[in-house]
Structure 1
């Protein structure tokens, strides 16, 4: 097999062009085989095989900078740069990262787990290159879905203004994670369909090449005529040309010779060039071709049938959220769901079927989604902004400035709160408590189980005094039975789920179960540990905190979130402002490091968030209590 002999871009360049299609087929089979065991981003990587081969065959990485937007499409890049023998460790602890990672290889020149960053990075690298007098190439590979991100359009505007030499490869497969939406998507769709324009453009290019060079004013007039004719006959590049980039395409992204021709053209032109490449997401594996959305990112699966191996047990919190929102929307026609390109991942596909007019997918545009939700709330609607914790980071200013400052009734449904497992450090949902709880007017809560999630959503819908957020994890529920009728929870109230007097644990979300396991371990040693569901991070249950202080009972705060700025910090701040010195408080949460990809269980072990570790710390707290008492 050709693939057996490819361990670097240098090895790739030893092959002849006619051998590359065979290598492409071998790469696809390798990906299908390996990802069936590890899971991963299958469909997007199957779609960029020829594109990646052409880039590495023509350019000289890492001297030439290949910048992958997001990294969903970088598996082939990893294979060609010496990492194919580690694919059995993909997305596993201490194994190969699912995204581009600078510490893995010198060929990984940019890291991104969030989309729409590649063009800004390319601009920065092109500027640095020119200021340092270097001559290397800069190539940004961005998907059509990522192009809807505001940051990408900001960068595109600047690139066109600066006129630096760089190449933007627009990988157009009509999808991000879900099918794309919006005017840019529709514009690109027209470009794909207007074959007559492409034929006319080829003929026009041939004609214009016959026009002799003319000097001075006549030359400038001739250039304007050329541009006008180009827009008249071949308007598909007009948008990008108006941004200041030379447009080339569309190009068949699975035809290596045509790709090579396009990139050579880009290198021959002064200034920025956009090469529009059409690819098929999931190419080479029928189930992925037929449902690229489902196969964008997947767990392990059976190759022959395409059946994904799913865990057996209670429903995921995401599913409970989606089903509950439908129930609430049936009772309240003000409810409208808003998502930034994540209708499937956020559990809203059924909602979209039931209420197509009340389901708004804005594409990859979290900032716009937040501010639009503010306006919806201002006009009397009940917007539910369903967003992953890690993606909400991108809309921080809008949450502060447009929603909380105006105290608008926006509901935040924050999915993937806490550890996310194999998606790793770029996707960990461990910072939202810290960046939300300090904002005035915000209410922030997290359920201990799926039944409480339902009641919290009811609480959020009934709340009319400003923004309110409910965060929930990327795991299955506990199997809790649902109440017959959803009941609002009094804002800022906690509940004791286990009595005890040796020490008290204030825990939220899935840490409730971990705390109860720790309490069971210590019960065998004669220590009765109280477990409190501190379900409201803001406002705190001040009445209960004052009561705990009067008892002089040692406290431990346990959260699957950043210790800095988390629930524990909120408790310490409260006691400090009250002038109270608690007998003892221990904080347990995510340490001040980025937690890399692994299983959620392994990530909890790394952070000390296990029943055994918590029991050990609680035992120490109880011992200190007895020592003080004597």
Structure 2
């Protein structure tokens, strides 16, 4: 076994090429060992084993610097740079994150979890090298799916006029998370089919030197290719064709399903554990809309499964012209939605909350400034959404709620969501965003609220203390109210805000009559959040306001319930505060 003796790239470089091939096989075995027991990003990493092994054989990391786009393909890199125990020993599985991380290793230069960034970051490293009169190689690794992102294209454009060492490796496995979309991918297909020799070549159009390798799993050819460009004095693109999921037949066959996932049995790919929530509320609402409104359309940016449009169901709506996956290009998704709404269509667009960060200018300028009635579905925001610092979603309220013309709604139940969605897709006055929780609870009571009238809902009418609880925090507020009533004998008020882009002034004034304290609970960041708007309103009154939210930090790998408790949001802490101030 060679891997047990590999503690860094210098050990790899002592091997001959036959031994290097065995090391690659052992690296893939270590990778499969971990992902089968702990889950993770499967397909992208399995396809990058030979490329990564050859990179570390030819180049001298960390002097030569590797930048991995998204980090979905960085597991083999971690195995070969002193972190193999995190893949071989179950007790050490949590020693490393799923993304590159400079706190883990000198071989990682950025904490990266979003797409289309590596070429820009590598260009920055290259310019820094130039300013310091350095000589190291700078290597950007980017997948074909990430090339559709605007930042990647902007970086390629600048790279075309850069005049020093930069090596761009395009890992082309003919797949994003779902299938690729866009004219760019027609050209990549032409390049693959012509062994890189077709006349139309997007990389050469940027002024970049270009080389193609058909078999991205041939270690000998990879080593030769990398040696041929080592220490090059100008930018070069190495277009390498790999197989997503390489080494697991079922992952190679069903590439979308095996992009990422939980633990599985290696022999057949069956899951080790039953999956969690299988809620179809969002998909059902969209399907009903599309089936009953021929002018309705749904847009997504590379994550169709988040809306429930899995591979087996979306083709019908693609064929009907009612579903568009624009690829990893959220900015285009938002601007297109604005145009569709402007020209009479009913446009719904949605993706995960962390990815909507990329659309801020388009949301504010292209959509909301023009006040076009497109509908935005913000998936998995707040503390119960994704919990990596690369995918953090604790600031969606701050990001969206202050934009003029946008109505941002926060349902607390399945029934509220369904009524909000109906309102949003039938009104023609403003853009509407809906904050989609990680999972829905059902009240069992149909919601018939007229959401064209933006009012808070008083869930429990009481006195002295009132709790405003955003979205999923409503359940906690009701538990606190129940405990106060049982143990102190006072009924406090509990309020479900429902809309976050303004204040219900009438209700706030009414509360002054028989309330002395207001508490606000939100599952996002406290600073500049919903609660502080209420505190500002009551600033010159006698009412005291206590805001609760998540502290300002890049929280990562946290337990959501523990994070809430750490920030004061527990039945016990809230009960104590009220008891002390009653």
- TM-score class, shorter-chain normalisation, is over 0.9
Q: Does 1:464 align with 2:421?
A: no
Q: 1:506 aligns with which of 444, 465, 468?
A: 468
Task: Identify if the C-alpha distance between structure 1 residues 173 and 308 changes in structure 2 by more than 3 Å, giving closer, same or farther.
Answer: same
Q: 2:362 aligns with which of 398, 414, 417?
A: 398
User: Given that residues 251 and 258 in structure 1 are in contact (C-alpha distance below 8 angstroms), is that contact kept between their aligned partners in structure 2?
Assistant: no
Q: 1:240 aligns with which of 203, 216, 236?
A: 203
Structure 1 unaligned regions, length at least 5: 199-233
Quote the residue 2:493 is aligned against. Answer: 530
Count of residue correspondences: 578
Q: Does 1:345 align with 2:306?
A: yes
CA distance in 2, matches of 1:145, 1:539: 38
Quote the residue 1:583 is aligned against. Answer: 543
Quote the residue 1:621 is aligned against. Answer: 578
CA distance in 2, matches of 1:432, 1:72: 24
Quote the residue 1:102 is aligned against. Answer: 102
In the TM superposition, residue 376 of structure 1 has moved relative to its aligned partner by 0.7
Quote the residue 2:44 is aligned against. Answer: 44
Q: Does 1:326 align with 2:287?
A: yes
Quote the residue 2:326 is aligned against. Answer: 362
In the TM superposition, residue 305 of structure 1 has moved relative to its aligned partner by 3.1
CA distance in 2, matches of 1:421, 1:37: 23
- 1:542-564: CA deviation from partner (whole Å, max 9, x where unpaired): 22222222222311111111111
User: 3-state SS of the aligned residue for 2:527?
Assistant: coil
Q: Does 1:302 align with 2:265?
A: yes
Quote the residue 1:54 is aligned against. Answer: 54
Which structure exhibits the higher relative contact order, with contacts defined as CA atoms closer than 8 Å and separated by 6 or more residues? 1
Task: Identify if the C-alpha distance between structure 1 residues 266 and 320 changes in structure 2 by more than 3 Å, giving closer, same or farther.
Answer: same
User: 3-state SS of the aligned residue for 1:129?
Assistant: helix
Quote the residue 1:25 is aligned against. Answer: 25
Quote the residue 2:379 is aligned against. Answer: 415
Quote the residue 1:560 is aligned against. Answer: 523
If the length of structure 1 is used for normalisation, what is the TM-score? Answer: 0.87
User: 3-state SS of the aligned residue for 2:377?
Assistant: strand
CA distance in 1, matches of 2:113, 2:14: 33
In the TM superposition, residue 517 of structure 1 has moved relative to its aligned partner by 3.1
User: Given that residues 550 and 563 in structure 2 are in contact (C-alpha distance below 8 angstroms), is that contact kept between their aligned partners in structure 1?
Assistant: no
User: 3-state SS of the aligned residue for 2:226?
Assistant: helix
User: 3-state SS of the aligned residue for 1:10?
Assistant: helix
Report the more deviating stretch, 133-142 or 366-375. 366-375
Q: 2:552 aligns with which of 572, 577, 592?
A: 592
Report the more deviating stretch, 585-594 or 29-38. 29-38
Task: Identify if the C-alpha distance between structure 1 residues 262 and 88 changes in structure 2 by more than 3 Å, giving closer, same or farther.
Answer: closer
- 1:358-401: CA deviation from partner (whole Å, max 9, x where unpaired): 10111111111111111111101111111211111101011111
**In proportion to residue count, which structure has more helix?**
1
**How is 1:402-481 mapped onto 2 (pairs within 5 angstroms)?**
402-419=366-383, 423-474=387-438, 476-481=439-444
Structure 2 unaligned regions, length at least 5: none
**How is 1:65-76 mapped onto 2 (pairs within 5 angstroms)?**
65-76=65-76
If the length of structure 2 is used for normalisation, what is the TM-score? Answer: 0.94
Task: Identify if the C-alpha distance between structure 1 residues 462 and 573 changes in structure 2 by more than 3 Å, giving closer, same or farther.
Answer: farther
CA distance in 2, matches of 1:605, 1:277: 48
In the TM superposition, residue 512 of structure 1 has moved relative to its aligned partner by 1.3
